Amino acid sequence: MSEASSRAERSKVERSRSNTSTPSPRVGKPRLAASRGGVAASTPLGMTRDPLAEEFLRYLSNERNASPRTLKAYRHALASFRAENKTSWKKSTADDFRNHLFAIMKRGCARSYVRLQFSALRTFYQFLAARKRLRHNPVRDVQLPKIEKKLPLVLTRQQVDELLTAPTREPKSRSAPSWMPLRDVAIMELFYSSGLRLSELAALDVAEVDPYTESVRVLGKGRKERVCPVGLPALEAMQKYRAAANVHTGALFINKARKRMSVRSVWLVLKRYVRHTSIPISMSPHKLRHSFATHMLDRGADLRSVQALLGHASLSTTQIYTHVTVERLKKAYADAHPRA
């Protein structure tokens, strides 16, 4: 065999070895191996499945039509207890939940937060009693701290007027579209005119505002729909904003990228303008809702009507505004009556 043919033969052998060698591993995201018990790949590491909790959350979503925010709160409440107590749900006792209550209180959480957590746990055990024939609800035996009844802070009508006109008085930033101050006026006018919740206003579409009936259709808590009247100043403010921003379909309130404004963005609008007023308290959209309800009652509206406008399921929730009105009457009496 010649030297040239020998080199060619060796080259063939080397190529053959390289083709049969183990391929190099791909660089990329590693695959999640399925863990024991058939846990889905989306289950976070270090957490085990909770079939009863998952079934309960599906029930809330599908049968009770619970909002994503409610589902998130209930999921957190169940996971928080489970992180501290590994006893099965059916074997957990009232003492287990008392220990959970003490742990939450030690962290300095507000009483309203504590009651929200236990409301979720109580509802969960009601579900277990109805669907899984659980005979006893241990959460019922836990005495919760009474919630602190604080009267809501409300603005005077003069302060409301000052806040609603702030966007037209203050210079806008150079990067902001020319229609943005008109949008901000419309947002605050609608808050005060209809007493909407922050999430309700941010979710509004153009089609849900009816200028002919002077009303807005709102999807509230529990996905319950209600129709709220809208005052003429708010309707005019929305009309001016929509014409200037060329908003005719889809989301009612948009940002400069022409996307729907987030809940946080709407909240920041109010926070930005309150700095340019003489209002001495910190401001939130809910304070405009408080002011709407209180001013309605001040002017003679009945409690049931205000309850319907606010979308409260219980009249007791609305009654707190009557206390505000009574306190204002007492102050007016003390200030004005010569023998008060």
Tens-digit pLDDT profile for the chain (340 aa)?
445 455 555 555 455 444 444 444 433 333 333 333 333 333 343 446 889 999 999 999 998 888 888 899 999 999 999 998 888 999 999 999 999 999 999 898 888 889 999 999 999 999 999 998 888 899 999 988 887 677 677 888 898 999 999 888 877 777 889 999 999 999 999 999 988 989 999 999 999 999 999 999 998 877 788 888 899 999 999 999 999 999 999 999 999 999 999 999 999 988 888 888 888 877 788 888 888 888 888 888 888 888 888 888 777 777 777 766 766 666 666 776 566 5
Active site residue 321: yes
Active site residue 197: yes
The CA–CA distances, whole Å, from 135 to 56, 81, 88, 128, 233 equal: 17, 20, 15, 9, 56
Query: Between β-strands 209-210 and 215-219, what pairing exists: parallel, antiparallel or unpaired?
Result: antiparallel
Among 221, 226, 240, 328, the one annotated catalytic: 221
Give the model's pLDDT for residue 65: 83
What does pTM read for this prediction?
0.62
Which domains, and CATH codes, for the chain?
50-141 (1.10.150.130), 157-336 (1.10.443.10)
CB distance 227 to 217 below 8 Å: yes
Reading the block at residue 121, the tokens are 């746990």
Among 64, 111, 312, 328, the one annotated catalytic: 312
- Please say whether the dihedral angle defined by the alpha carbons of residues 112, 116, 119 and 125, taken in this order, is positive or negative: negative
Among 100, 242, 287, 289, the one annotated catalytic: 289
Give the model's pLDDT for residue 94: 92
Among 74, 192, 273, 321, the one annotated catalytic: 321
> Token pair 């990329």 is at which residue?
28
Active site residue 289: yes
The CA–CA distances, whole Å, from 48 to 41, 43, 104, 160, 282 equal: 12, 8, 23, 51, 43
Closest CA to 317 of 330, 303, 328: 303
Radius of gyration of the chain (CA): 30
Among 183, 197, 242, 295, the one annotated catalytic: 197
Among 75, 98, 286, 328, the one annotated catalytic: 286
